[in-house]
Amino acid sequence: MINYYQILGVDPTSSSPEIRTAYRKLALQYHPDKNPNDPEAEETFKLISTAYRVLIDPEQRAAYDFLISHQHQTAQKSDTKQEEDAFNPRKRTTYQQREKHREKYYQQNPESRPEPISYWEKLGQNHWMNVMTAVAFSALLSIMVGIPIYMYIKKQQEKEIARLMEEQRRFDVARSLYEHKAYHAALDSLEILVAHPKANFDIISYRNAILNDLYEKGQDAYFDEKYQHAVYYWQLLVKHSDYSAVLYQQLAMAYEDIGAYQQALSIYEEMVGMEQFNIPLLLSAASLCADQLINNEKALKYYTMATDAMIDAYIINYGRAYALVLQPKDIPESHYIAHYGLAVVLARLEEYERAKLACDWAIFLRPRRPEAYNVLGNCYYAMDQRQEACEAWDQAIHRGSLQAGEWVARFCP
Question: Which amino acid is present at 248?
Answer: Y
Reported as a pLDDT band with limits 50, 70 and 90, residue 305 is very high
Q: Is 62 helix (H, G, I), strand (E, B) or coil?
A: helix
Residue 189: DSSP 8-state: H
Q: Find out whether 72 and 12 touch, Cβ atoms under 8 Å.
A: no
Cα(255)–Cα(247) distance, rounded to whole angstroms? 12
Q: How far is CA 239 from CA 187, 192, 263, 271, in A?
A: 10, 14, 14, 14
Residue 327: DSSP 8-state: -
pLDDT above 70 as % of the chain: 82
Half-sphere exposure for 395 (CA within 13 Å, toward CB): 19
Q: How far apart are the first and last CA of the chain?
A: 107
**Of 5 and 367, which is predicted with more confidence?**
367
Mean pLDDT rounded to a whole number for the chain: 85
Please report the pLDDT score of residue 346 as a whole number.
97
- pLDDT-wise least confident of 45-49, 74-78, 129-133, 409-413: 74-78
* 348-390 pLDDT per residue, tens: 999 999 999 999 999 999 999 999 999 999 999 999 999 999 9
* 118-158 pLDDT per residue, tens: 544 555 555 556 667 766 667 666 666 667 777 778 788 88
Number of H helices, E strands in the chain: 19, 0
Cα(188)–Cα(173) distance, rounded to whole angstroms? 11
* 167-222 pLDDT per residue, tens: 888 889 989 999 999 999 999 988 888 888 888 888 888 999 999 999 999 999 99
Please report the pLDDT score of residue 141 as a whole number.
62
Please report the pLDDT score of residue 12 as a whole number.
87
Please report the pLDDT score of residue 2 as a whole number.
75
Question: Which amino acid is present at 337?
Answer: I
Please report the pLDDT score of residue 86 as a whole number.
46
Please report the pLDDT score of residue 237 as a whole number.
93
Cα(75)–Cα(73) distance, rounded to whole angstroms? 5
Q: Give the DSSP H/E element, type plus range, for residue 290.
A: none
Length of the chain: 413
- Span 55-81, mean pLDDT? 71
Q: Find out whether 160 and 53 touch, Cβ atoms under 8 Å.
A: yes
Reported as a pLDDT band with limits 50, 70 and 90, residue 49 is confident
Please report the pLDDT score of residue 127 as a whole number.
57
Q: Find out whether 234 and 247 touch, Cβ atoms under 8 Å.
A: yes
Nearest to 281 by CA among 311, 240, 273, 222: 273
- Span 385-408, mean pLDDT? 95
Please report the pLDDT score of residue 337 as a whole number.
96
Please report the pLDDT score of residue 77 as a whole number.
58
* 73-115 pLDDT per residue, tens: 655 655 555 544 444 544 444 556 666 766 766 676 666 666 6
Please report the pLDDT score of residue 94 as a whole number.
58
Q: How far is CA 405 from CA 217, 273, 374, in A?
A: 50, 43, 10
Please report the pLDDT score of residue 50 as a whole number.
86
Please report the pLDDT score of residue 120 as a whole number.
47
Reported as a pLDDT band with limits 50, 70 and 90, residue 301 is very high
Cα(210)–Cα(187) distance, rounded to whole angstroms? 8
Residue 288: DSSP 8-state: I
